[in-house]
Chains A and B, each alone.
Chain A
Amino acid sequence: MQELVLIQPGRTAEEEFAQEAAATALRHEFEERLAECGPLAYRVARGVLRNSADAEDVAQEALLRAYRRFERLRDRSRFRAWLVRIAFRLAIDRSRSSKRREVRETLWSQSAPRPSTEDVAATSEFQAHLDRAMEELPEKQRLVLLLAAMQGHSLEAVAEMLGLPVGTVKSRLFFARKRLAEKLRCHAKTIEKR
C-alpha cells in the first residue's frame, strides 16, 4: 500500500524525506530492541498485576510511551532500565486503580474481568498468599525481587539495570525474601500438614 506524506508548505521535499528517513531509522532501532525488551516489560507488568490481559495492556502502553520518548533518550544503553521503570510504574498505577475500582464495585463482581486459564493454573493457594505478601512489600524491594527472579538475570545484571550498586540489590533482595518468609511461614506449614 502506498503511503501518502503530507508536505508542509515552505519546506523542501529533501527536508521532508530526510525527516522521514530519520523517523524510519528510529523506528527500526526501537523495533530491534522490542524483541529483547518487550517480554521483559510484559513480565514486569505481569509480576505486579498477576493478570495476563492487564499485563499485556500495561506492557503495550509502556512500550508505546518509551517509543514516543525514545528520541530524547540520550544513553540508549539505559533503555532496558528505563523501560523496566516505565512498565513497573504503570503496572503499580494500574494495580492501585483496579483496587480502588474493586472496592467500588464489590456489588458488581459479576462484571469483573475473569482471569484466563493460564492465571487460574498459576494461582494455587500458596501462590495467592505469595502474591498478597508481595503486594505488601515496598516498591523498591518488589522490583528487585521480580527482576532477580527472572530467568538469566544475575544480581549484577539487576544492579546494572537499575543503576544501583550490587550491595544495595543484595540487601534489598535479602530483606524482601525475609519479609516474605515471615508472612508465609504459617501458610507453608498449614499447606504441608495437609
Chain B
Amino acid sequence: MPCEDYREALIEAAASAATPSRELRSHLDGCASCRAAITEERQLFAVIDTGLRATANAEVPHSFLPLVRASLQDVSASQRRWTPFLIFAAASAAIVLTVFIATRPRHARNDTQAKQILTAPSGERAAIPDRVEVTGSPAVTTPLRLHHVQKRKNSTAPSSVASTQFEVLVPSEEREAFARFISSQLERTDVAIAVVATASDEKDRPLQVEPLEIAELEVKRLESVMSEVPDGTEEKQ
C-alpha cells in the first residue's frame, strides 16, 4: 500500500509520464511500497496506451480508398446531372412566389372599402351586412375594420384584449347625441368612423319568463325518517 499522503501524487506522476517532483523522488527513495505503487501505476498506463494505440492505429482495409474514389466519381456525376434541374426548380419556385406576392389581397384595400361603406348615406347603412350588434342592450356597435369583424364572427377563438377591432356601446338615450358627434367628426376628419344603428324592437321587448311549477312537498314525520336509516341505530332504541 502506498503512503496516503503521496497516493494522488503517484497517480498524477504516472499519468503525466513526467519525472516526479523532487519531494516525491526523495520519498520514493526511502519508501518501498510507494516505489512498488508507482511501478504498478506506470504498468497500468503502459497497458492503457498499448490498448489505445491498437484502437487508434487499426489497419485501413485495402478496399477503402478505391471505394471512396468510386463514390466521389458518382457524386460528381450526379451533381452534374442534377444541377440544371435544380436551377430550373429554383427559377420556377421564384416565379411562383413572385406571382403569389403580386396577386395577394392587401389590407389597405379593405380599409378603403370599409371607409366607403361607413361614409355612405344612412339609408344604405342599414343594409350593411357586416354590422355587429350587441344583443341584450339597446346599444350600437361600431366596426372600424369590416375585414376583422367578419373574421372574428366566424372564429371560435376567444377575443383578444389586444385586438385592433374596437366597439362602442351607446345607451339608447345618448344615441342621438352620439350620432351628432359622429357626423361632426366625419365632416372634420376620418379619425373616428362609426355606424349608428337602432337596435331591433325585439331586443327592447321585456324578457318573458314562464312561471315556475313546483310539485307539492311531502312532509314526513322525523321519527319515521330516522327509523329508515340503514345502520339500524334508531331501531335499537
Contact = CB atoms under 8 A, between A and B. Distances in A.
Interface of A: 5-6, 8, 23, 27, 30-31, 34-35, 38-39, 42-43, 46-47, 50, 52, 55-56, 59-60, 63-64, 67-68, 118, 122, 126-127, 130-131, 134, 145-147, 149-151, 174, 177-178, 180-181, 184-185, 188
Contacts of B75: 64, 67-68
A180 B58 contact: no
Given A130-B48, A146-B56, A150-B56, A42 B64 contact: yes
Contacts of A131: 55
Q: How big is chain B's contact interface, by range?
A: 35 or more
B192 interface: no
B69 interface: yes
Nearest to A180: B48
B185 interface: no
Contacts of B65: 34-35, 38
Q: Which of B16, B49, B58 has the most CB of A within 10 A?
A: B58
21 contacts: A5-B80, A6-B84, A31-B69, A35-B65, A43-B60, A52-B61, A68-B75, A118-B59, A122-B54, A122-B58, A126-B47, A127-B55, A145-B52, A149-B52, A149-B53, A149-B56, A150-B57, A174-B15, A177-B45, A178-B12, A180-B48
User: Looking at chain B's contact residues, is the secondary structure mostly helix, strand, loop, or mixed?
Assistant: helix
Given A23-B80, A178-B11, A184 B44 contact: yes
Given A47-B55, A127-B54, A178-B11, 19 more contacts: A6-B81, A8-B87, A23-B76, A34-B72, A38-B65, A38-B68, A39-B64, A42-B60, A43-B56, A43-B58, A46-B55, A52-B61, A64-B71, A118-B59, A122-B55, A149-B49, A149-B52, A174-B16, A177-B45
B51 interface: yes
B63 to A, nearest CB: 8
B133 interface: no
Q: Which of B15, B64, B68 has the most CB of A within 10 A?
A: B68
A64 B71 CA distance: 7
Interface string B150-173: 000000000000000000000000
Interface of B: 11-12, 14-16, 41, 43-45, 47-49, 51-61, 64-65, 67-69, 71-72, 75-76, 79-81, 84, 87
Contacts of B80: 5-6, 23
B73 to A, nearest CB: 8
Contact of B72 (A27, A177, A180): A27
Contacts of B15: 174, 177-178, 181
Nearest to A68: B75
Given A43-B56, A43-B57, A150-B57, A59 B48 contact: no
A-B pairs with lowest CB-CB distance, top 10: A149-B56, A149-B52, A130-B51, A39-B60, A46-B58, A178-B15, A150-B56, A42-B60, A177-B15, A8-B84
A63 B68 CA distance: 8
A181 B72 contact: no
A35 B69 CA distance: 10
A181 B84 contact: no
Contacts of A31: 69, 72
